[in-house]
A and B are shown apart, each in its own frame.
Chain A
Amino acid sequence: MKRRGISPVVATVLLIAIVVVIGLIVFLWFRGMVQESILKFDKNIELVCAEVSFDADYSGGDLSILNLGNVPIYKMKVKIYTEGGHETKNIEDFSDESNNAGWSWSGLNVGGTFSGENSGELNLAEEIFLIPVLLGDSDSGRKSYVCENEEYQIK
């Protein structure tokens, strides 16, 4: 009995098409899992995080930060631990807008200082941590990156 299946050419085309589609699906899935790399000073921003150097102090309701290193700090996260748990705020929330001494939109440049006031919330805190945020370049433009491993305890 003579039975005919699909021709070898069609089979090859189908095979290639299926492989390409599966490849695309795997690629898109994997790209979603792998974080987009952000570069600063031509290296991965995670490495630059380790070079951030700043001094900070909280006393008398004033929060002061001094950038001593050679990496500009774009923003700063303030992690406040209280009895019930913790919350993370942006440094802008501690800016003293009354005398225009707020956190600059361009961040804290090398040698720059910041002084903010928040007598209530920070006074109640059991522990306060500062986490620097850097600005880097990625394929999709400028992106900020939170240096989660570079916590600086000020209280």
Chain B
Amino acid sequence: MNAAATLAAPPTGAHIRAVRGELSGDLLEVSMGPHHPSTHGVFRMIVTLDGETIVRLKPVFGYLHRNHEKLAENTSYLGSMPYTDRLDYLNAMTNNWAYARAVEQLAGIAVPERAEYVRVILAELTRLLNHTCLAGFLMQDCGCSGTPLMYAFREREKILDLFESLSGSRMMCNYQRFGGCRVDPTADWLAGAKKLVGGYGAFLDEFEALLTGNEILLARTQGVGRLGAALAINAGVTGPMLRAAGVNHDLRKVDGYGVYPRFQFRVPLGAHGDVYDRYMIRILEMRESLAILRQSLAGLPAGPVMNPQAKLRGFRPKPGEAYGRIEGPKGEIGFHLVSDGGPNPWRYHVRAPSFINLTLLEDLCLGHTVADAVIILGSIDIVLGEVDR
């Protein structure tokens, strides 16, 4: 279409009435994102507004889609291990673990005890990292620009330093292997982890003193985006969002995978299922993670971190399939693998928790304002690398 043709037909009244006319009866459609800072990446919501109230909300996905699953089907099993880091790029360690666990179930590979302990230590450090960041992001979404996020990122860097000294990379760790872990943590590393765990409680106290009782936070988050238990279960919601709705479901307890049954920890549950509960659940979960870390660091057994029988090169599991899942920081992260006996998986599917937790975004936002939709989205805790895959 050339410019002259566009100018020849000026917009008629129908186009502008929605903005300029009587707003009471007209609905306004607003596109939020994909380049909106509150959408945590390239996520888009088409929001229909009646005044300032949301009456319809349609999420639009796919801006970061690169067909991760197709790429994984064209490479070996081990070849997609570094690629799982890029799914939820905050939590590479748990993505690695979920994938390794699915392959271990598919091929029946045993994992040495020390490796299970190391996995638990790394998964709980990842949970600390994710929840700290999320609390910072959520405050940013509420409008407390800067301070809480910088406090959170300061602590996150300490955990990332540990990951870097262990795996060689801050975020793209590529650390787990089928049947164990890539390198054995040294005594220095363990001392560093113990030091971090010892100091983290003080940081949480400081963070909570700043935020938890804050009047503005209470006013913004309490009663916003309420989610009932029955709907949450039916919609496949998992992780802290499900527990904030009051459902006692934590895969570390339900499946008891790895060595989790050996540790004493509690599962915090919410009562209202609103944004405040989702914030609070994460703070409480961090304290439980610290308890698990103290126990696992104290009880770490000696031994190998890799099953010597596990085969890395020329790995061809027998035909069959497996669905392996773990409790990631965002919810249930699972991998569904189908093997036809070849070196590449015939089918490789990622059950991405933040993608499925978004199912209820519209239900949570209806009747709220746009500013509330921003914090509801923030409290769901999405990472677009995982949503769009």
Whether chain B is bound by chain A comes out as no
Taking Cβ atoms with an 8 Å cutoff, the residues of A that contact B are none
